[in-house]
A = this chain, B = another copy of it.
């Protein structure tokens, strides 16, 4: 079939964790990534703002004739997924349901922790997703507002990062009994090593990125949208904010430098 791209939107660089997994698990597929770095973080914004900004990103990508949209931001997924799925003619995949399904698969004691932005946690989106499948699951949610700004600034190691992770996770660690922790924000896999260390090796950590890529793979196959040609994909990355900052995190996260990165204005 004709080459069409998968569109990926995020509030900033966090969605790169999803993009990397898409590139790894679906190496033939082409991505167009748009990060609204300028207005990041979305976590503390109002529902109305998140909906408005998300639609601006979606409309920008629709003009590039994408075949599937990944909302690679938990806050945007929490507030806009249902609306996007109803309005768009292409499949729309968020990051909350894949994380929820993966957690249900691995949890043995049905006690699941979720960390995310204030917006994601207060929306109860994970609790709804988990309880929509199994009402007996106990969900422990915790907002970690310090993580996104830290990751956007490229602070992924060292004393400050460790201390921030420790302080933020304290309430969840004290309130124990969970066997699975969902990283309910696509920025968090960038500090997964710190989170895993703080929570202990026994806790199974679920990364939205890996799980979302797998579900994209299924929906592409189910809708017969998988690309089966031979030409190599040429990924495109766009940011509304600072190019250098974006590139810094991207270069840490990907194994090779991004070839095509452009600034973009959306409104």
Residues of B within 8 A of A215 (CB): 218
**What 10 A-B pairs come out closest when comparing CB atoms?**
A27-B134, A101-B217, A105-B214, A25-B104, A101-B214, A215-B218, A105-B210, A25-B105, A218-B218, A97-B221
Q: Is A75 an interface residue (CB 8 A)?
A: no
Residues of B within 8 A of A210 (CB): 105
| Bound Cα distance from A28 to B136, whole angstroms | 11
Q: Is A228 an interface residue (CB 8 A)?
A: yes
A selection of 23 A-B contacts at a CB cut-off of 8 Å is A25-B101, A25-B105, A25-B134, A26-B134, A27-B133, A27-B134, A27-B136, A28-B134, A97-B221, A98-B218, A101-B214, A101-B218, A102-B214, A104-B214, A105-B210, A105-B213, A105-B214, A132-B226, A133-B217, A133-B226, A215-B218, A218-B218, A222-B222
Which residues 68-106 of A sit at the B interface, judged by CB distance below 8 A?
91, 97-98, 101-102, 104-105
| Bound Cα distance from A97 to B105, whole angstroms | 17
Q: Kindly state the interface size class of chain A when it binds its partner.
A: 20 to 34
Given A105-B210, A210-B105: A26 and B217 interface contact (C-beta under 8 Å)? no
| Bound Cα distance from A97 to B25, whole angstroms | 13
**Does B133 lie within 8 Å of A26, measured CB to CB?**
yes
Number of identical monomers bound together in the oligomeric complex: 2
| Bound Cα distance from A27 to B104, whole angstroms | 11
Tell me the A residues contacting B by CB distance below 8 Å: 25-28, 91, 97-98, 101-102, 104-105, 132-134, 136, 210, 213-215, 217-219, 221-222, 226, 228
